[in-house]
């Protein structure tokens, strides 16, 4: 009798574990990679993501921890320099990663994610190290000023200021001013897309290419299919996004500005070649794809890659998904090819 009870208990325990894993893994439509999903959902259970009553400091700490908790220890990188530039009566902190095996290398200007209110040079340090090492380019990480203390368009102006500074001072960092790319994830993808528009409109420095990693391209309306499907995902809900947007641009009408919502731009001609990375289980997936398709309609060379089984923010999750490194490798190869094309053109 005791053996029967023990056997039944074991069977019930196994069933409970199996059902528990299924509950953890299940997400919206489809599924996240199992190991990734379990880690993220367990973290959410331990740290409930209710942001309504949190202070700005608490919001930043939460966002910054999301970018570092699932990130591996940074790879060794010998040539890293922190500097502060003073341009147009403002100071902007930069972190410059210089590869050791290249003379006059191309330059990548990297804008970190964090929904315009969070993120910093440290949250994306691992990403920038890998990007510089793999692409053989100088990477300039931009510590742009954050909302709500610095609302729109201050962050946009910061990144454009760094683009202009980089072009004028490329020789001082031993870089190639004729081979500059802009790269960013999430809010940084938004800023990179906008800076490409701004550089065209201002007849500013030429941009070789732009890489937009799960970018926010329409903050005026969160009404895409992916927002409907993933409006309450593990690490980003529609309530969260509306809160972040309100802190960045308080007036809704201002969110129609193409420098806030590049998808709403009426003219996307004469923009650089573009790589857009999206994530399958990301509310922002559809607007990233929509921006890529609209660029194609304007005659721009665009590559769109969707990474299956991963959520928003996966580029900093190399501890729990190998798709983070896969994306970095794809981006690095894309940059190398684009830089090579530009260098060959300028040398003819």
Do residues 299 and 270 lie in contact, with contact meaning Cβ atoms separated by under 8 Å? no
Return the HEC string of 245-295.
Answer: HHHHCCCHHHHHCCCCCHHHCCCCCCCCEEEEEEEEECCCHHHHHHHHHHH
Do residues 263 and 315 lie in contact, with contact meaning Cβ atoms separated by under 8 Å? no
User: What is the pLDDT at residue 295?
Assistant: 99
How many Cβ atoms are within 10 Å of 86's Cβ, its own excluded? 9
User: What is the pLDDT at residue 27?
Assistant: 43
Cβ-Cβ contacts under 8 Å for 43 (sequence gap 6 or more): 69
Alpha helices in the chain (DSSP H): 2-25, 34-46, 56-69, 125-135, 154-169, 187-201, 225-229, 238-248, 285-297, 323-346
What SS3 state is found at 332?
A: helix
User: What is the pLDDT at residue 136?
Assistant: 96
Q: How distant, in Å, are the alpha carbons of 66, 108, 162 from that of 175?
A: 32, 10, 14
> Which residues form the catalytic set?
186, 282, 312
Phi/psi at 180 (5° precision):
-120, 130
**Residue-range domains of the chain with CATH:** 53-346 (3.40.50.1820)
Residuewise pLDDT in 10s, the chain (348 residues)? 555 555 544 554 444 344 344 444 444 444 567 656 665 565 555 455 568 789 999 999 999 998 888 899 999 999 999 999 998 888 999 999 999 877 899 999 999 999 999 999 999 999 999 999 999 999 999 999 999 999 999 999 999 999 999 999 999 999 999 999 999 999 999 999 999 999 999 999 999 999 999 999 999 999 999 999 987 766 788 999 999 999 999 999 999 999 999 999 999 999 999 999 999 999 999 999 999 999 999 999 999 999 999 999 999 999 989 999 999 999 999 999 999 987 775 665
User: What is the pLDDT at residue 53?
Assistant: 82
User: What is the pLDDT at residue 29?
Assistant: 40
Measured N-to-C along each axis, helices 323-346 and 125-135 cross at an angle, to the nearest 10 degrees, of 50
What SS3 state is found at 302?
A: strand
Phi/psi at 260 (5° precision):
-110, -40
User: What is the pLDDT at residue 30?
Assistant: 47
What SS3 state is found at 111?
A: strand
d(CA 90, CA 95): 17
d(CA 235, CA 66): 8
Torsion sign across C-alpha atoms 305, 308, 314, 318: negative
pTM of the shown model: 0.88
User: What is the pLDDT at residue 17?
Assistant: 40
User: What is the pLDDT at residue 40?
Assistant: 57
What SS3 state is found at 151?
A: coil
Phi/psi at 249 (5° precision):
-135, 95
Measured N-to-C along each axis, helices 187-201 and 154-169 cross at an angle, to the nearest 10 degrees, of 60
């Amino acid at each position: 009798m005791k053996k029967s009870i023990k056997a039944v208990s074991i069977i019930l325990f196994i069933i409970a574990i199996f059902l528990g894993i299924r509950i953890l893994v299940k997400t919206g439509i489809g599924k996240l990679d199992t190991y990734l999903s379990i880690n993220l959902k367990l973290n959410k259970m331990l740290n409930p993501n209710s942001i309504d009553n949190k202070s700005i400091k608490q919001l930043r700490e939460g966002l910054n921890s999301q970018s570092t908790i699932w990130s591996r220890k940074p790879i060794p990188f010998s040539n890293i320099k922190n500097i502060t530039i003073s341009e147009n009566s403002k100071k902007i902190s930069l972190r410059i990663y210089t590869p050791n095996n290249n003379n006059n290398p191309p330059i990548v200007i990297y804008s970190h994610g964090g929904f315009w209110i969070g993120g910093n040079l440290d949250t994306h340090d691992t990403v920038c190290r890998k990007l510089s090492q793999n692409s053989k380019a100088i990477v300039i990480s931009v510590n742009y000023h954050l909302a709500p203390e610095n609302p729109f368009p201050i962050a946009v102006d910061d990144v454009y200021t760094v683009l202009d500074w980089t072009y004028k001072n490329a020789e001082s960092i031993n870089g190639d001013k004729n081979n500059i790319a802009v790269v960013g994830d999430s809010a940084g993808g938004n800023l990179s897309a906008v800076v490409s528009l701004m550089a065209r409109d201002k007849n500013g420095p030429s941009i070789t290419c732009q890489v937009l990693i799960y970018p926010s391209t329409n903050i005026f309306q969160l009404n895409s299919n992916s927002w409907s499907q993933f409006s309450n995902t593990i690490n980003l809900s529609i309530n969260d996004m509306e809160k972040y947007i309100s802190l960045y641009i308080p007036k809704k009408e201002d969110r129609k500005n193409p420098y806030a919502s590049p998808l709403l731009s009426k003219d996307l001609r004469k923009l650089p070649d573009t790589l857009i990375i999206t994530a399958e289980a990301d509310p922002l997936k559809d607007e990233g794809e929509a921006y890529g398709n609209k660029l194609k309609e304007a005659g721009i060379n665009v590559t769109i890659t969707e990474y299956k089984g991963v959520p928003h923010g996966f580029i900093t999750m190399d501890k729990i998904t190998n798709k983070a490194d896969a994306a970095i490798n794809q981006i690095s190869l894309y940059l190398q090819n684009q830089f090579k094309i530009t260098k060959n053109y300028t040398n003819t």
